[in-house]
């Protein structure tokens, strides 16, 4: 660690024979017990929830997005407000991602499914059908058009660092190039080399900005490992980034980014984590389903974020211990039980399926709030239970019991 201030990570217990572990990340705004699910607040809000509700449902930290906050309201506004936490009235730990994923994925039209739309085609330059190119990557950075008004902007490693320093989150990420599984092996190699060069530039700018603002809480910088589905690229990328961290003045942690599919998620996380020393916290960028969470944690992820629980909640899709249900379905019209019998959230404690069904049918705003509280609590609590199971040596039992129930019933529940 390169700060001597409030950032650090310590391992508490381990999953025997695996990379998985529990621990605590210390930040200037409090600790994060890991593994932890980080709630996504893209535009400095977890959509439809008051921060008090986010805290009550057990979320330990919030992750916002540099691209969105750069375009609106502008990082200078957030800085003037006292940083991301003050601006949004969230007193706990905060993360920002670098904006690279949004700049490039919105730019090529794949949106959030960048790594998922694989149809076997590979090319150096891939773009979604029917989309105009809105982002162009070169060795110095990325030029892109705003998805809000079409205006032209440029991100570089230095610009991303300046924006993230203005936003002031406790944990920030190096600016990286996001590729897709459709890019060729040759392109992936060049991209990893470019991401390394950018990481070095991020680190230099991060050090300069940190030195310039000695009175501020230290912001921890995480490198991002790319390399798609190639073991040699992932391992070498990790080693090369770690070489800069090893002298005590480098990165504070690692993000695992880029092209991950369900089938290779655990393997890729394991390759990266096997290369990393204990003291380096590892963040997995963007995963979704309960089985993916067990897999990621088992293979060494300490924190991860996912927009899915809140996004699907707003469409009436509800996580339950017996699989996902769609609460707008007619069969819930007179169902006066809670969303999930097994849930301890505010929604399940005070409202019925019939009422939430009614709110969605009537297009009432409270529908989004009640459904989001429940889905976020569902995921936070699941990860809390996984953490306890590692501490207590019951990880495999929990996984078999939880996933057996969740997926066995998913078909019957009518997703």
Catalytic residues: 97, 305
Q: Rank residues 84 and 348 by Cβ distance to Zn ion and give the closer one.
A: 348
In this structure, the chain runs to a length of 415
Q: In angstroms, give the least distance from the CB of 340 to Zn ion.
A: 5
Confirm if 87 and 165 have CB atoms less than 8 A apart.
Answer: no
Contacting residue, 15, 265, 280, 348, with Zn ion by CB under 5 A: 348
Residues 6+ apart with CB under 8 A from 144: 103, 104, 106, 107, 134, 135, 136, 152, 153, 154, 155
Number of residues that bind Zn ion (CB under 5 A): 5
Interaction of residue 192 with Zn ion, rule CB under 5 A: no
Tokens describing residue 196: 């390394």
Q: In angstroms, give the least distance from the CB of 319 to Zn ion.
A: 9
3-class secondary-structure state, position 123: strand
DSSP structural state of residue 217: P
β partners of residue 145? 152
**Distance from C-alpha of 175 to C-alpha of 38, rounded to nearest angstrom:** 20
DSSP structural state of residue 337: S
DSSP structural state of residue 286: -
Segment interacting with Zn ion, rule: CB under 5 A, options 197-205, 280-288, 325-333, 346-354: 346-354
Nearest to 327 by CA among 357, 362, 289: 357
**Distance from C-alpha of 317 to C-alpha of 305, rounded to nearest angstrom:** 19
Nearest to 134 by CA among 119, 151, 157: 151
Task: Kindly provide the residue ranges of all beta strands, DSSP E only, lying in 238-358, ordered along the sequence.
Answer: 253-256, 282-284, 303-305, 317-320, 323-326
Q: Per-residue x/- mask for Zn ion, residues 355 to 384, rule CB under 5 A?
A: -------------------x----------
Contacting residue, 245, 345, 383, 386, with Zn ion by CB under 5 A: 345
Q: Rank residues 82 and 337 by Cβ distance to Zn ion and give the closer one.
A: 337
Q: Rank residues 138 and 342 by Cβ distance to Zn ion and give the closer one.
A: 342
Interaction of residue 325 with Zn ion, rule CB under 5 A: no
Q: Rank residues 44 and 312 by Cβ distance to Zn ion and give the closer one.
A: 312
Segment interacting with Zn ion, rule: CB under 5 A, options 73-81, 144-152, 315-323, 340-348: 340-348
Residues 6+ apart with CB under 8 A from 221: 172, 173, 174, 202, 203, 206, 251, 252
Q: In angstroms, give the least distance from the CB of 332 to Zn ion.
A: 14
Interaction of residue 327 with Zn ion, rule CB under 5 A: no
Interaction of residue 387 with Zn ion, rule CB under 5 A: no
Q: In angstroms, give the least distance from the CB of 80 to Zn ion.
A: 37
**Distance from C-alpha of 226 to C-alpha of 238, rounded to nearest angstrom:** 9
DSSP structural state of residue 219: P
Interaction of residue 224 with Zn ion, rule CB under 5 A: no
Segment interacting with Zn ion, rule: CB under 5 A, options 21-29, 245-253, 300-308, 347-355: 347-355
Residue 12: CB atoms within 10 A of its CB come to: 13
Q: Rank residues 180 and 372 by Cβ distance to Zn ion and give the closer one.
A: 372
Interaction of residue 353 with Zn ion, rule CB under 5 A: no
Q: In angstroms, give the least distance from the CB of 3 to Zn ion.
A: 39
Contacting residue, 64, 78, 284, 343, with Zn ion by CB under 5 A: 343
Q: In angstroms, give the least distance from the CB of 63 to Zn ion.
A: 22
Q: In angstroms, give the least distance from the CB of 372 to Zn ion.
A: 11
**Distance from C-alpha of 294 to C-alpha of 297, rounded to nearest angstrom:** 5
Q: Which residues bind Zn ion (CB under 5 A)?
A: 343, 345, 347-348, 374
């Amino acid at each position: 660690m390169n700060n001597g201030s409030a950032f650090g990570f310590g391992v508490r217990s381990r999953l025997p024979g695996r990379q998985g572990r529990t621990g605590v990340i210390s930040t200037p705004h409090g600790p994060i017990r890991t593994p932890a699910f980080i709630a996504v607040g893209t535009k400095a809000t977890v959509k439809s929830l008051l921060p008090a509700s986010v805290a009550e449902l057990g979320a330990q930290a919030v992750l916002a997005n540099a691209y969105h906050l750069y375009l609106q309201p502008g990082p200078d506004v957030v800085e003037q407000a006292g940083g991301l936490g003050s601006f949004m009235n969230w007193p706990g730990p905060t993360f920002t991602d670098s904006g690279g994923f949004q700049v490039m994925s919105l730019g090529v039209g794949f949106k959030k499914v960048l790594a998922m739309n694989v149809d076997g085609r590979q090319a150096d330059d891939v773009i979604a059908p029917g989309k105009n190119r809105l982002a162009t990557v070169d060795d110095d950075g990325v030029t892109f058009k705003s998805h809000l008004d079409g205006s032209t902007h440029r991100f570089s490693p230095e610009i991303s660092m300046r924006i993230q320093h203005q936003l002031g989150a406790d944990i920030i990420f190096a600016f990286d190039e996001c590729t897709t599984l459709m890019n060729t092996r040759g392109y992936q190699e060049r991209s990893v080399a470019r991401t390394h060069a950018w990481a070095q530039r991020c680190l230099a700018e991060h050090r300069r900005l940190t030195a310039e603002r000695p009175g501020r809480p230290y912001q921890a910088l995480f490198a991002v490992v790319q390399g798609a589905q190639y073991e040699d690229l992932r391992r070498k990328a990790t080693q090369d980034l770690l070489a800069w961290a090893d002298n005590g003045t480098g990165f504070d942690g690692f993000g695992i980014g880029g092209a991950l599919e369900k089938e290779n998620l655990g393997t890729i996380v394991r390759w990266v984590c096997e290369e990393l020393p204990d003291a380096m916290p590892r963040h997995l960028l963007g995963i979704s389903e309960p089985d993916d969470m067990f897999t990621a944690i088992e293979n060494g992820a300490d924190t991860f974020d996912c927009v899915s629980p809140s996004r699907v909640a707003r469409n009436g899709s509800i996580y339950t211990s017996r699989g996902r249900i769609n609460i707008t379905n007619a069969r819930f019209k007179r169902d006066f039980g809670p969303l999930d019998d097994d849930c301890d959230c505010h929604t399940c404690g005070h409202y019925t399926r019939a009422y939430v069904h009614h709110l969605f049918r009537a297009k009432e705003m409270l529908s989004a709030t009640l459904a989001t509280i429940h889905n976020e609590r569902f995921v936070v609590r699941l990860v809390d239970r996984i953490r306890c199971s590692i501490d207590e040596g019951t990880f495999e039992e929990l996984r078999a019991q939880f996933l057996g129930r969740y997926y066995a019933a998913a078909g019957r529940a009518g997703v």
